[in-house]
Amino acid sequence: MNASSRRLILASTSPFREELLARLSLDFETASPHVDETRRGKESATELVRRLSEAKARAIGTTQPGLIIGSDQVATLGDTILGKPGSHEYAMEQLRLLSGNAVIFQTGLCLLDSENESLQVDVVPFTVYFRELDEKQIDRYLRHDRPYNCAGSFKSEGLGITLFERMEGDDPTALIGLPLIRLTTMLEKAGVSLP
């Protein structure tokens, strides 16, 4: 079977990841992986996203044949892993911490061929430098974008871009949660022709 015609499954229900993958003009499905995302012991951010991206791909690959894409992302400020805020108050607290600082996003990416168990896994970093933000700016932003389910309390694909002084990295799509440049290389290695 031609690899380009094989079933491609995104192990995620994130609308942001789905929108990014659609840019590659490939037919794909999405599936929700049920994975415990709890950090294990003193696991580093890189170890955490590598493990979770693989776990998400494997969770879908155990029952569905094809090429399975798993991805996970965390934001770090120094040695601190920033989670999803979940509330306005916690998002305010996070953005106060990020004001004037550099935040590194680690995005884990896994491509699993569930038919032969071949696995490609990588972690793609991306750094965001935040402007100095005051309380009113933070509050206005949060009330506009409501990024309470986003690591770091912002959406770069929305008004969150106004919070930045600059960005640094090899793949801007890594910041949104699915590094397409690295994924393209993985898919080509698996026999998928792009474009």
CA gap 65, 114 in Å, rounded: 5
Is position 72 annotated as part of the catalytic site? yes
Active-site residue, selected from the candidate residues 27, 36, 72, 79: 72
Half-sphere exposure at residue 122, Cβ-oriented, CA atoms within 13 angstroms: 14
How buried is 176 (Cβ within 10 angstroms: 0-12 exposed, 13-18 middle, 19+ buried)? buried
Q: What is the CA radius of gyration of the chain?
A: 17
Residue 105: alpha-carbon gap to chain centroid: 8
Please give the positions annotated as active site.
72
